[in-house]
């Protein structure tokens, strides 16, 4: 606010440019009093009895189906030989289970893609939802090119980051 005087004797009309601190101090004191009064009310708590539950989580190990395919296209369902025509019935029976098992496919380096496509197509057609591949780490792939599928699993083969079961 600018204040001036009605005295024109000096001829110097100048305004006072100072901030009036009194209203600001009044507002701060009112806020301080409000906080002093309300602070003890905020720390008041109400005691309630919360029910206690002590349930143990149910741990189920997921069933894993290991399907190996060798270089000639021969299929092995959990280390037992199986034909491509029997595969769809096995997939349908496993897809009906709850929880559905994980299907992990181990294929030889020289396996034709046509065989893998047939296996994946019959798995999806039967309703299998969890499908993964077991692969060798990059450094071991060249060293064990001629190894059997069982040796690949024993050498630390992985399926989507999980250790394989021999």
Which pLDDT value is given to residue 49?
Answer: 75
pLDDT above 50: residue 158: no
First-last CA distance in the chain: 88
pLDDT of amino acid 1: 52
Instruction: Check pLDDT > 80 for residue 142.
Output: no
Q: Are 103 and 141 in contact (CB under 8 A)?
A: no
Give the integer Cα–Cα distance in Å for 76 and 136. 18
Cα distance between residue 25 and residue 39, in whole Å: 21
Cis omega (within 30 of 0) on the bond before 53?
no
Which of 16-20, 71-75, 107-111 is predicted least confidently?
16-20
Q: How many CA atoms lie within 13 A of 48 on its CB side?
A: 4
- 81-135 pLDDT, tens per residue? 998 888 888 999 988 888 888 999 999 888 888 998 999 999 998 898 888 888 8
pLDDT on residue 157: 42
Cross-strand pairs, 69:
75, 107
State the maximum Cα–Cα separation within the chain, in Å, rounded to a whole number.
119
């Amino acid at each position: 606010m600018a204040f001036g005087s009605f005295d024109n004797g000096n001829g110097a009309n100048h305004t006072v440019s100072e901030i009036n601190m009194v209203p600001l101090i009044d507002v701060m004191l009112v806020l301080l009093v409000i906080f002093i009064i309300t602070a003890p009310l905020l720390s008041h708590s109400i005691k309630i009895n919360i029910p206690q539950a002590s349930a143990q989580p149910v741990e189920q190990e997921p069933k894993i189906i290991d399907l190996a395919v060798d270089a000639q296209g021969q299929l092995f369902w959990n280390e037992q030989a199986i034909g491509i025509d029997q595969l769809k019935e096995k997939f349908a029976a496993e897809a009906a289970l709850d929880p559905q098992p994980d299907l992990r496919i181990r294929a030889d380096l020289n396996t034709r893609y046509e065989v893998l496509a047939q296996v994946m197509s019959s798995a999806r057609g039967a309703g299998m939802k969890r499908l993964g591949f077991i692969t060798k780490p990059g450094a071991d792939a060249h060293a064990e090119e001629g190894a059997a599928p069982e040796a690949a699993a024993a050498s630390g083969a992985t399926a989507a980051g999980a250790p394989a079961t021999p």
